[in-house]
A and B are shown apart, each in its own frame.
Chain A
Amino acid sequence: MDFALPVPPYRLSGVVYATLLNDPAQVRDLGDRAYEAPYKEPPVAPVLGLKPRNTIVSNDAAIVVPPGVEHLAMGPSLGIVIGRPACRVAAAEARDVIAGFVVVNDISIPVPSHYRPAVRFRARDGFCPISSDFATWDALPGPPDSLRVAVQIDGHLVHAGSTSGRTRGVCKLLADVTEFMTLQPGDVLLLGGPAAAPVAGPGSHVRIEIEGVGALQNRYVAAEATA
């Protein structure tokens, strides 16, 4: 794993926290189900998951689609790279603890339920590719909550979205997460993917571009090809 950064802390720690259901449409699309068992009410605190070290791969890595799985859900996300220890950070001061941004794909087997942590669906080997492209906040063309996101599969544009309109934007998310857990330099916190994210199957080539940050591309292969 070689994830060098051009600024302190100069490399990623390998710790990646994913934010889930941060696009309000993802909860809205559940309709009344969000108020029924097992959920009972929409989420209050940020919904988080971990992408463990076996999931982390680099740009250009081949990602294995598990046997019996037709397609994987793409989770094109802005990755917030932490630059300084971040504990109880106020939203207004969040910029000071951010080293910069990367492009991350929070890949999952489409999850049938949001009730349990779904580790088997979300933490498989290679399910968290991270770009080598990196941009500091100052280098962005605008605020990190207003960047265009484009996903191309086999050269066709299949998703044109933005980092905007999240339940929690970059600064509010950092404030709410660091209220109860400290993030360390080199850790990555994902803003979270959009509701209308595409899927990809074996043979696909996926390219995710976030305006001003860079691009992440990976190909998807059937399990047999690497066995």
Chain B
Amino acid sequence: MKTARVAYSGAIHAAQPTDDGRLRLPDGRVVEEHAVVWLPPVDAGTIVALGLNYADHVKELSRELVVAPNDEPLVFLKGPGTLLGHRGATRRPAGLAFMHYECELAVVIGRTARHVKRSNAMEHVAGYAVCNDYAFRDYLENWYRPNLRVKNRDGATVLGPWLVDAADVPRPHALGLRTYVNGQLTQQGNTADMIHDIPALIAYLSAFMTLSAGDVILTGTPEGVVNVNVGDEVATEIDGIGRLVNTIVGDEAFGRARQPDA
């Protein structure tokens, strides 16, 4: 089952897709998908993100960097203000040189996980969503890197459109990921190429922190990250999970005066 969370006609609803591409609300109404405001599909608790979790992306960032499965995962945390729903707008600050998307498989935890073994880790997964976790690389500093100014900006972690039940995703480590900027394919990968797979991540994290239902693990991105500009439409998609659309807007849309070009 796929479930979205949408705002429609003055209230927030769970919504399911119909066969003809519309949305069915629990109260019986069937509405066009453009008639609703799409919210992140889960009321997320702790958001854990992975850096450098695809070998090809590691190579893309640095020739010298080598990450192996027996290395400790590079994890960082994100706050709730960074989440944004399907078809939302993300602000690109004026004067920035490099802002890029990251198409990622989001894993939503379904029940409390503490000291979970790899062998039964997948029992703790409620479902999956597509995530586009933007990075604003100009702000990168080497203290607790990636620092929050790069990875925890308002509305820069797009999540959705659906939460897809784990039962409907029998092979989460065999899914193609793709990103299109204005319809052009720019990023391609497969969840088979994760350095630390989902059970490894749940085992690693739950060994030192209790994960609870609603916590989200963003499992990293493959190679192919390119700069995006104001006006671009960025679509991130994962086989069987969904296609998540986001638009880049400028400072003016957020009431910020245009900065003089540096």
1/0 contact trace for A23-55 toward B, CB 8 Å? 000000000000000111101110111101111
B148 contacts which chain A residues (CB < 8 A)?
17, 48-50, 180-181
Residue pair A53, B212 in contact (C-beta under 8 Å): yes
- Segment among A93-101, A109-117, A167-175, A206-214 that sits at the interface with chain B: A109-117
A123 interfacial contact with B, CB 8 Å:
yes
Min distance, Cβ B110 to any Cβ of chain A, angstroms? 16
- Segment among B9-17, B69-77, B119-127, B180-188 that sits at the interface with chain A: B69-77
Residue pair B144, A180 in contact (C-beta under 8 Å): no
B154 contacts which chain A residues (CB < 8 A)?
87, 180-182
B141 interfacial contact with A, CB 8 Å:
yes
Using CB atoms, name the residue of chain B closest to A51: B77
Using CB atoms, name the residue of chain A closest to B80: A15
A124 interfacial contact with B, CB 8 Å:
yes
Q: How far is the CA of A15 from the CA of B81 in the complex (A)?
A: 10
A195 contacts which chain B residues (CB < 8 A)?
none
Residue pair B80, A114 in contact (C-beta under 8 Å): no
Asked, given contacts A117-B77, A123-B77, whether A66 binds B208 with beta carbons under 8 Å apart, the answer is yes
Using CB atoms, name the residue of chain B closest to A43: B143
Using CB atoms, name the residue of chain A closest to B114: A125
B79 interfacial contact with A, CB 8 Å:
yes
Residue pair B143, A181 in contact (C-beta under 8 Å): no
Q: How far is the CA of A121 from the CA of B212 in the complex (A)?
A: 19
A20 contacts which chain B residues (CB < 8 A)?
143-144
Asked, given contacts A117-B75, A180-B154, whether A52 binds B209 with beta carbons under 8 Å apart, the answer is yes
Residue pair A116, B144 in contact (C-beta under 8 Å): yes
Residue pair A181, B141 in contact (C-beta under 8 Å): no
A107 interfacial contact with B, CB 8 Å:
no
Interface residues on A, range: 35 or more
How many interface residues does B have (CB within 8 Å)? 32
Asked, given contacts A114-B144, A115-B145, A117-B145, whether A49 binds B208 with beta carbons under 8 Å apart, the answer is no
Using CB atoms, name the residue of chain B closest to A85: B81
B78 contacts which chain A residues (CB < 8 A)?
50
- From A15, A47, A49, A116, contact of B74 by CB (8 A): A116
- From B46, B139, B142, B152, contact of A52 by CB (8 A): B46
- From B74, B141, B153, B208, contact of A44 by CB (8 A): B141
Using CB atoms, name the residue of chain B closest to A40: B142
Within 8 A of A (CB), among B72-92: 72, 74-82
B199 interfacial contact with A, CB 8 Å:
no
Residue pair B144, A117 in contact (C-beta under 8 Å): yes
Residue pair B212, A54 in contact (C-beta under 8 Å): yes
Q: How far is the CA of A182 from the CA of B81 in the complex (A)?
A: 7
A184 interfacial contact with B, CB 8 Å:
yes
B210 interfacial contact with A, CB 8 Å:
yes
B149 interfacial contact with A, CB 8 Å:
yes
Asked, given contacts A17-B79, A117-B75, whether A123 binds B209 with beta carbons under 8 Å apart, the answer is yes
Q: How far is the CA of A55 from the CA of B208 in the complex (A)?
A: 11
Min distance, Cβ B58 to any Cβ of chain A, angstroms? 15
A50 contacts which chain B residues (CB < 8 A)?
77-79, 148, 152
B82 contacts which chain A residues (CB < 8 A)?
181
Can you list 10 A-B contacts with CB-CB less than 8 angstroms, sorted by A residue number? Answer: A20-B144, A52-B209, A116-B74, A117-B75, A117-B77, A120-B208, A123-B208, A180-B139, A180-B154, A182-B154
Of all A-B residue pairs in the complex, the 10 with the closest CB atoms, nearest first, are A50-B77, A52-B46, A117-B76, A48-B148, A54-B210, A43-B143, A39-B142, A47-B143, A119-B75, A117-B144
List B residues at the A interface (Cβ < 8 Å).
45-46, 48, 72, 74-82, 139, 141-149, 152-154, 208-212, 256
